[in-house]
């Protein structure tokens, strides 16, 4: 206390002495003055609303930062991008943006001009904070970083402001930040202080907001893509995270092995280059426990730091050891351990020269190390601005050249698709990523195939070649000594083994070896989808296409308006099982639905003579739990809302009470383990239990009562739909005569981590109406089924089945014989109801549009 007071006096005296010099400088409020405590101090967290006000205050007080409010988050909180640079650069942003655009896409520009642009331009650097809302350090650190950048007058700071335009995303998940702050404040001082949030830290997706850099389903992702993929392509990007508490104190770039193909090689060198400076500055500052080139492989998911390298951005991450939110954690030396991938022991190694010895670990430690890391990135870019820009040019140029020379040369997306509206959705998503797409104004021929007018062609001779290859090309995950241990056991990839967009979406994309000639126009805006309503002269009504996902939205909108809808149950001329039929409704109603969905309404002749049934929408319940929430549950809600399916969330208490048939016809169990559903939680690691000792009201599990209530629900005519792992729950607890054939396989014999596999769909069965006869499903830790012999084999039906051989499309599959001809989706009658087991990921992360209909069909009758 005493020494602090002295310090305060000295500063006051200092300010008084130099006051005449500082007279032109407006006072800038420090974070400590504003928030009333030092950010990162124990048991304190600043809340996003207050932080937003602070940035706006700084914008008033300083001419070195500018705020862009990108718009509301999912739940209506502001999503900010703060641009920090010299006042000159900030007034010149339009020109700098233009220069940056030319360097990032130098097609048609002379190299001599690039040389001039590199001199005139500024390095564009982006860093984002606390995407994962429980990883609170970044957002708490950023105000201090901002304040220092705009108030320090030393040469280093000036160099950064002069040479760098810094795009700071101070909070990538505003909604989650608020949830976590409020939760933490509620628990401080109780026995649950520092325990994680019992539910998802986002309305829908929680941790999976870092799996959305490709499909851009969330509005926060759309904002980030606008800045990073289209308006500004930064040269480097760092996303600041936290990891577990018991390993290194901080992971910094580069990544470890293996690396994903098709990025420019300079990217991987840049990771090492920036990472070395970051690590060097941390060692210089005496920070112990800094690790690089380990743990996080260069082949991960398509979250932000992992997808940006394919946009030619040096995309990186840092990972700080976690405290218990803002509560310090004590770590004994013998609790410290190495981790996966090139960090085998908690011992000194070249990439970890100074092991941290253990002791108290606090939020302030995290804030300080992240501050140094963030500053070091800006510092290195500022010192080497021209190199950074020149290499950005080289990456873009060389990727374009590789695309022009390589095979394939382009991908064609025919407008003749099983579900052409989903194909357009894919095209529009790729547009959000800044990929150049051309649309054919007339039909054209490529490699002997005639593509109709309106088809799309994506040339690989463009800077984002690597991204396009990864999203649209068939991919095989590496099977080599980086991906198997010394005994040959395959190592699980960090995420899925493929992220192929068109395979997930059920869109057919053709690679072509030579560029096609034709009349093409570069798309500048999203492709509109407005459906047509034919003039009907008969009285038989209209048909809309059961093969389109969007038709289910149309169906829901019509049912909401009280319009009766039927489905065709047999093939008749021009109609397929699953096609939707309505009576001769007023054109205005239909046109409104056609505008919203893109679905066409075709007039029927007078003589429709097919078997039909009236569509009844089932009262659907979506099971939701606490214990941190379940992302698959959130994503399922998101998908249902996108397609206007009504649903209710249902939790343990309501299930346990029973009498479920009174309110619901269908209950969906998202992908989850039996232990999490029942609450038995066997086999859970000590570490996880210690992290999830939630207050009793947030410990979930339906228990034996819940199992009995679900059984009664099905026996009385209800439908239970289970996704992925929760099929095991249904098999075990509802006692179905079905066996999961890959339940106990040895990974050397059978291994399939997140891959697309070939199947056949029984599209004459109402559960597979609208599906093609064959296609792809996403397998990810999925069960596969055989029906066990019993007296009641007739009660079981296989809706989707793996094909015989060459099952793998993209990803990694060892031991395909285990899946050969096995059932992938089974419907089982049980009492008066049924259980629908969907083993694969029918709606994975709102990405697998190709299999949505299997879910939708289960929600109607
Ligand atoms: Zn994270």
Over residues 65-75, the pLDDT tens digits come to: 999 999 999 99
Assign 843 a pLDDT band (cuts: 50, 70, 90).
very high
Q: Are strands 449-451 and 520-522 parallel, antiparallel or unpaired?
A: unpaired
Residue with tokens 């066990």: 788
Over residues 515-544, the pLDDT tens digits come to 889 999 999 999 999 999 998 776 789 999
Distance (angstroms) between ligand 1 centre and the Cα of 222 equals 19
Confidence band of 1 (pLDDT split at 50, 70, 90): very low
Residue 605 has a pLDDT of 80
Stretch (H or E) spanning 510: strand 510-512
Residue 244 has pLDDT above 80, yes or no: yes
Distance CA 508, CA 527 (A): 18
Mean pLDDT calculated for residue range 184-196: 95
Residue 241 alpha carbon to ligand 1 centre in Å: 4
What is the whole-number distance in angstroms between the Cα of residue 250 and the centre of ligand 1? Answer: 13
Q: Is 91:97 a contact under the CB 8 Å cutoff?
A: no
Centre of ligand 1 to C-alpha 58, Å, is: 28
> H-helix or E-strand containing 147?
helix 137-151
Mean pLDDT, residues 659-679 = 96
- State the Rg of the chain over Cα: 28
| Residue 641 near residue 714, CB atoms below 8 Å | no
Our CA angle for 104, 221, 61, nearest 5°, is 80
Task: Give residue 252 CA to ligand 1 midpoint distance, Å.
Answer: 13
Q: How confident is the model at residue 25 (pLDDT cuts 50, 70, 90)?
A: low
Token pair 């070249």 is found at: 350
Q: How does DSSP classify residue 744?
A: T
Q: How many CB atoms lie within 10 A of CB 404?
A: 14
Q: How far apart are CA 849 and CA 503, in angstroms?
A: 9
Report the separation in Å between the CA atom of 515 and the middle of ligand 1, taken as the mean of its atom positions: 41
Q: Are 859 and 823 in contact (CB under 8 A)?
A: no
What is the reported pLDDT for 246?
Answer: 97
Instruction: Give tens-digit pLDDT for 345-358.
Output: 999 999 999 999 99
CA dihedral 796, 799, 803, 809 (to 10 degrees): -140
CA nearest 546: which of 593, 579, 507? Answer: 579
Query: For the residues 825-829, what does the mean pLDDT come to?
Result: 98
Q: Is 257 exposed, middle or buried (0-12, 13-18, 19+ CB in 10 A)?
A: middle
CA of 120 to the centre of ligand 1 (A): 36
C-alpha 242 – ligand 1 centre gap (Å) = 5
Residue 13 scores a pLDDT above 60: no
**67 CA to middle of ligand 1, Å?**
25
b/e per residue 758-785 (b: at least 16 CB within 10 A): bbbbbbebbbbbbbbeebbbbbbebbbb
Report the alpha-carbon distance of residue 675 to residue 684 in Å, rounded: 9
CA distances from 417 to 241, 454, 505, 576 (A): 41, 12, 12, 15
Nearest Cα neighbor of 540 from 585, 583, 572 is: 583
Kindly provide the b/e burial profile for residues 185-215, where b requires at least 16 CB atoms within 10 angstroms of the residue's own CB. Answer: eebbeeebebbbbbbbbbbbbbbbbbbbbbb
Q: Please give the mean pLDDT across all residues of the chain.
A: 95
Query: According to the model, what pLDDT value does residue 681 have?
Result: 66
In this structure, are residues 174 and 130 in contact, taking their beta carbons and an 8 Å threshold? no
Q: How far is the CA of 362 from the centre of ligand 1 (A)?
A: 18
Distance between CA atoms of residues 222 and 671, nearest Å: 26
Please give the full DSSP string across 343-366, using - where no structure is assigned.
B-SSS-BTTB-S----EEE-HHHH
- If DSSP codes are grouped into helix, strand and coil, which group holds residue 579? coil
pLDDT band at 696 (very low <50, low <70, confident <90, very high): confident
- Is-contact 550 617, C-beta < 8 A? no
Instruction: Using pLDDT thresholds of 50, 70 and 90, give the confidence band for residue 691.
Output: low
Q: CA–CA separation, 120 vs 669, rounded Å?
A: 57
C-beta separation of 291 from 317 below 8 A? no
Task: Report how far apart the first and last C-alpha atoms of the chain are (Å, whole number).
Answer: 72
Q: Where residue 484 falls among pLDDT bands split at 50, 70, 90?
A: very high
What is the SS3 assignment for 630? coil
pLDDT in tens, 385-416: 999 999 999 999 999 999 999 999 999 999 99
440-464 mean pLDDT = 97
CA of 380 to the centre of ligand 1 (A): 24
Check residue 2 and give its pLDDT. 41
Report pLDDT digits (tens) over 612-633: 999 999 999 999 999 999 999 9
- What tokens were used for 206? 């929680």
Which is higher by pLDDT, 537 or 780? 780
- 553 within 8 A of 619, measured Cβ to Cβ: no
Please give the distance, rounded to the nearest whole angstrom, from the Cα atom of residue 814 to the centre of ligand 1. 30
Question: What was the pLDDT predicted at 692?
Answer: 59
When pLDDT is averaged across residues 251-272 and rounded to a whole number, the result is: 98
Query: Six-digit token pair at 762?
Result: 């029984």
- Give the single-character DSSP code of 153: -
Give the pLDDT score at 339: 87
Task: Give residue 684's pLDDT.
Answer: 55
Q: How many CA atoms lie within 13 A of 109 on its CB side?
A: 22
Residue 480 has pLDDT above 50, yes or no: yes
Q: Which of 123, 97, 128 is nearest to 225 (CA)?
A: 128
Predicted confidence (pLDDT) at residue 609 exceeds the cutoff of 90? no
CA–centroid distance, residue 567 to ligand 1 (Å): 45
| Residue 348 neighbours by CB distance under 10 Å | 10
Residues 751 and 815: their CA atoms lie apart, in Å, by 7
Distance 211 CA to ligand 1 centre (A): 11
Q: Is the pLDDT of residue 295 over 70?
A: yes
Q: What is the DSSP letter of 66?
A: E
CA 68, CA 87: separation in Å to the nearest integer? 16
Report the separation in Å between the CA atom of 488 and the middle of ligand 1, taken as the mean of its atom positions.
30
Numbers of helices and strands, H then E, in the chain: 26, 36
How many angstroms does the Cα of residue 202 sit away from the middle of ligand 1? 14
Residue 53, C-beta contacts closer than 8 angstroms, at least 6 positions apart: none
Which pTM was predicted? 0.95
Q: How many other CB atoms are found less than 10 A from the CB of residue 350?
A: 7
Task: Could you list the beta-strand ranges (E) of 536-643.
Answer: 542-544, 565-568, 580-582, 602-603, 612-614, 620-623
């Amino acid at each position: 206390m005493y020494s602090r007071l002295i310090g305060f006096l000295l500063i006051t005296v200092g300010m008084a002495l130099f006051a005449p010099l500082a007279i032109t400088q407006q006072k800038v409020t420090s974070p400590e003055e504003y928030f009333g405590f030092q950010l990162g101090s124990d048991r304190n967290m600043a809340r996003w609303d207050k932080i937003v006000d602070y940035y706006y205050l700084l914008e008033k007080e300083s001419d070195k930062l500018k705020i862009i409010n990108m718009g509301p988050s999912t739940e209506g909180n502001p999503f900010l991008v703060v641009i920090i640079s010299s006042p000159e650069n900030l007034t010149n942003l339009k020109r700098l943006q233009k220069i940056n655009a030319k360097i990032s896409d130098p097609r048609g520009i002379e190299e001599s001009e690039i040389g001039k642009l590199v001199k005139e331009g500024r390095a564009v650097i982006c860093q984002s904070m606390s995407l994962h809302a429980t990883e609170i350090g970044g957002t708490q650190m950023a105000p201090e970083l901002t304040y220092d950048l705009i108030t320090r007058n030393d040469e280093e700071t000036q160099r950064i402001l002069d040479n760098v335009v810094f795009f700071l995303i101070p909070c990538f998940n505003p909604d989650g930040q608020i949830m976590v702050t409020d939760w933490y404040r509620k628990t401080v001082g109780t026995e649950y202080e520092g325990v994680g949030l019992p539910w998802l830290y986002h309305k829908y997706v929680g941790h999976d907001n870092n799996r959305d850099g490709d499909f851009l389903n969330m509005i926060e992702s759309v904002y980030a893509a606008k800045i990073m993929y289209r308006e500004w392509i930064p040269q480097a990007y760092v996303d600041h995270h936290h990891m577990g508490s018991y390993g290194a104190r901080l992971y910094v770039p580069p990544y470890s092995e293996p690396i994903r193909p098709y990025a420019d090689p300079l990217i991987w060198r840049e990771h090492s280059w920036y990472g070395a400076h970051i690590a060097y500055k941390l060692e210089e500052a005496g920070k112990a426990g800094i690790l690089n080139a380990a743990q996080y492989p260069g082949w991960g998911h398509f979250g932000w730091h992992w997808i940006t390298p394919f946009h030619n951005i040096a995309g990186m991450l840092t990972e700080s050891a976690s405290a218990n939110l803002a509560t310090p954690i004590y770590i004994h030396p013998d609790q410290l351990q190495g981790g996966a991938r090139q960090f085998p022991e908690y011992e000194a190694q070249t990439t970890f020269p100074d092991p941290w010895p253990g002791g108290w670990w606090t939020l302030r430690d995290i804030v300080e190390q992240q501050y140094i890391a963030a500053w070091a990135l800006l510092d290195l870019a500022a010192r080497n601005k021209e190199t950074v820009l020149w290499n950005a040019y080289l990456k873009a140029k060389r990727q374009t050249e590789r695309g022009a020379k390589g095979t394939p040369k382009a991908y064609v997306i025919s407008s003749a698709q099983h579900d052409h509206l989903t194909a357009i959705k894919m095209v529009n998503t790729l547009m959000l990523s800044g990929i150049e797409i051309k649309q054919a104004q007339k039909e054209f021929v490529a490699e002997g195939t005639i593509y109709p007018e309106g088809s799309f062609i994506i040339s690989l001779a463009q800077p984002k070649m690597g991204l396009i290859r990864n999203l649209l090309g068939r991919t095989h995950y590496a099977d080599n000594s980086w991906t198997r241990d010394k005994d040959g056991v395959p190592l699980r990839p960090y995420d899925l083994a493929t992220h192929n967009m068109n395979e997930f979406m059920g869109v057919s994309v053709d690679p072509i070896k030579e560029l096609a000639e034709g009349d093409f126009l570069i798309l500048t805006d999203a492709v509109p989808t407005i459906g047509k309503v034919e003039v009907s002269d008969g009285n038989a009504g209209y048909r809309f296409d059961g093969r389109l996902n969007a038709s289910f939205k149309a169906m829901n909108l019509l049912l909401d308006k009280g319009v009766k809808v039927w489905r065709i149950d047999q093939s008749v001329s021009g109609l397929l099982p699953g096609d939707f039929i309505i009576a001769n409704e007023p054109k205005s109603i239909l046109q409104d639905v056609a505008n919203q969905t893109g679905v066409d309404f075709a007039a029927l002749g007078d003589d429709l003579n097919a078997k039909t049934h009236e569509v009844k929408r089932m009262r659907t319940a979506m099971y939701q739990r606490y214990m941190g929430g379940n992302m698959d549950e959130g994503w399922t809600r998101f998908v249902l809302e996108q397609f206007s399916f009504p649903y209710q969330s249902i939790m343990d208490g309501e299930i346990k009470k029973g009498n479920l048939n009174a309110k619901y016809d269908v209950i969906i169990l998202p992908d989850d383990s039996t232990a999490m559903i029942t609450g038995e939680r066997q086999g859970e690691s000590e570490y996880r239990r210690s992290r999830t000792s939630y207050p009793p009201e947030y410990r979930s599990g339906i228990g034996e009562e819940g199992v009995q209530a679900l059984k009664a629900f099905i026996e009385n005519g209800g439908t239970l739909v289970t996704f992925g792992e929760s099929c095991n729950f249904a098999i075990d607890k509802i006692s179905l005569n079905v066996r999961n054939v890959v339940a106990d396989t040895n990974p050397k014999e059978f291994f399939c981590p997140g891959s697309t596999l070939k199947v056949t769909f029984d599209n004459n069965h109402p559960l597979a109406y609208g599906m093609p006869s064959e296609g792809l499903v996403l397998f990810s830790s999925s069960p596969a089924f055989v029906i066990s012999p019993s007296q009641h084999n007739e009660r079981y039906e296989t809706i989707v089945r793996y094909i015989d051989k060459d099952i793998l499309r993209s990803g990694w599959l060892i031991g395909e014989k285990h899946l050969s001809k096995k059932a992938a989706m089974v419907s089982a009658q049980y009492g008066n109801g049924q259980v629908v087991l969907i083993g694969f990921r029918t709606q994975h992360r709102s990405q697998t549009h190709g299999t949505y209909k299997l879910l939708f069909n289960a929600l109607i009758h």
